[in-house]
Amino acid sequence: MNDQITQQEVNATAWAACDTFRGVVDPAQYKDYILVMLFLKYISDRWNDHYAEYKEQYGDDDERIRRKLERERFLLPYVELKEEDSKTGETKVIDRFVGDFNALYERRNEANIGELINIVLDHIEDANKSKLEGVFRNIDFNSEANLGKAKDRNRRLKTLLEDFNKLDLRPSRVSEDVIGNTYIYLIERFGSDAGKKAGEFYTPKMVSRLLSALAQPKPGDRICDPSCGSGSLLIEAAQMVEAQGSHNYALFGEEVNGATWALARMNMFIHSKDAARIEWCDTLNSPALVEADRLMKFNVVVANPPFSLDKWGSEHADNDRYKRFWRGVPPKSKGDWAFITNMIERALPQEGRVAVVVPHGVLFRGGAEGRIRQKLIEENLLDAVVGLPGNLFPTTSIPVAILVFDRAREKGGARENIKDVLFVDASQEFVPGKNQNTLSEEHFAKIVATVATRQNVERYAYVAATNELAENDFNLNIPRYVDTFEEEKEIDVAAVQREIDQIEQELTDVRARMRHHLLELGVEVI
């Protein structure tokens, strides 16, 4: 008998647990509670599954079992609850248990269950500082502001624990791939529910896959997303290297939002990417991925940064200690080129490849943005511009583009002789959805193949020489290069007139018959 739990079963159970908060707590907030609880259940079930194995192996030798468990990826410590004796003033232990999901489930009816969850998470964080320090600090299960007054809060948390208790995540019953897929599945569902707020943590899966594919990660690469959100784009890039038969890569990320940074850390652990370095920082103003006071360099840099971010820190750009904005300072109300410049400066000279999602304004806006765009083109760094359909994101219905920069096109790089830019107009090819469009596997494959072959494709792709870009004042608006205009069919005016005459004659005949029938019925016709 196969007692393995399917992906669909795990997804359905995890999503059902969200009903506890739906309609009460904003999706952008309740995702944190759900994903933290999923992570707690994951590490608890792993621990208890292995405990059962060691128990069978070593019997009642708890000391030996504990030594074995201390080698686990995550250590679950003992929690001691104490209180002061009102008469003697002495502090005594009133409860002692292993800090895991099961202990919380057993205490789900306690009046301070929210506080107990926080205590367990604090103990787990302290016991695993090298991995989990700070990961749970942004989530408060005892928050009246988010979860309501004590009675309602306790009821919701009890229901949440009961729902997650139905989820069996023991390694003997479910693979880590399934758990990782569930984490991504929930992030995607939260992205759909959270609307514009989803942009803080979510890039649609097919867009993440496409961005990763265009960045072309390979074995041995250091891969960075300086605006990593919940880290799903890094996971996609890693999986593309793994598809090449290798686990030789290193992942790095930076995220400015503390709660989202915590999600990214948990996402890495659930996908067994424990070595990933994800920093909580402002990538434009205080980057943390530095070595010897210089920006770390990467083979691949990918990102879906905030679109046209206002007040991104332009006032500090002239004095940037890492000299990233030497091509010019973007407008203070639109940070797009600040993020792009940041990414290019992090790519390895003569080698690094950059892929970034941008709004279309980045392609043609003038002023400082136009000057930066011109310099990057004159440096021969821009490799491809890919226009995507509208309504791919929960954050915006506007169509977006992907820019690909390749520092191997610099002097001394392997592609320094490439002097053109590929334009792809994929904006008309998508799978329409009720609330959001998506790309199919066929659309994905066509874009990737077109970028790889760099050939003109009628009404779809065009390879433009750099002098053409200069003639267009370095405007990258895709319709300037890819002609998608289709001539309308010629209209035979004489045939149309004959058709109109025929219809009018038929209408006259119908009216005459109607008049005849009315007269037979004795109805006076005026």
Cβ-Cβ contacts under 8 Å for 169 (sequence gap 6 or more): 10, 41, 42, 45, 46, 179
The C-alpha atoms of residue 35 and residue 183 are separated, in whole angstroms, by 7
Could you tell me if 281 and 261 are in contact, meaning their C-beta atoms sit under 8 angstroms apart? no
| pLDDT value at residue 485 | 60
Q: Tell me the residue ranges of DSSP E strands in 182-281.
A: 222-225, 250-255, 277-280
| pLDDT value at residue 197 | 47
pTM over the 0.85 mark: yes
| pLDDT value at residue 425 | 97
CA distances from residue 458 to 82, 420, 482, 490 in whole angstroms, order as listed? 74, 18, 8, 22
| pLDDT value at residue 187 | 83
DSSP state of 305: P
Dihedral (CA of 107, 113, 119, 122) sign: positive
| pLDDT value at residue 487 | 57
**Which residues are registered as beta bridge partners of 225?**
253
| pLDDT value at residue 510 | 86
The C-alpha atoms of residue 133 and residue 142 are separated, in whole angstroms, by 20
Cβ-Cβ contacts under 8 Å for 206 (sequence gap 6 or more): 392, 438, 439, 444
Q: Residue 430 is encoded by which pair of tokens? A: 């998508």
In the sheet that holds 277-280, the strands lie side by side as 277-280, 250-255, 222-225, 300-303, 353-359, 400-406, 382-387, 420-425, 461-465
The C-alpha atoms of residue 362 and residue 57 are separated, in whole angstroms, by 62
SS3 content of the chain, % helix, strand, coil (to 5): 45, 15, 40
Q: Percentage of the chain surpassing pLDDT 70?
A: 95
Could you tell me if 377 and 423 are in contact, meaning their C-beta atoms sit under 8 angstroms apart? no
**Which residues are registered as beta bridge partners of 424?**
386, 461
- Nearest to 336, CA basis, from 312, 300, 371: 312
Supply the DSSP string of 81-131, one letter for each residue: EEEE-TTT--EEEEEEEE-SHHHHHHTTT-TTHHHHHHHHHHHHHHHTHHH
- Contacts of the segment 506-513: beta carbons below 8 A, 24+ positions apart: none
Length of the chain: 526
First to last CA, the chain: 85
| pLDDT value at residue 2 | 54
Dihedral (CA of 323, 328, 331, 335) sign: negative
Could you tell me if 345 and 295 are in contact, meaning their C-beta atoms sit under 8 angstroms apart? yes
Over the chain (526 residues), what is each successive 10-residue block's mean pLDDT?
Answer: 77 87 78 91 94 89 87 93 81 90 97 96 96 92 91 94 92 87 85 54 85 97 96 95 97 94 93 95 97 96 94 95 96 96 98 96 96 97 96 82 98 96 96 88 97 96 96 96 72 83 87 82 71
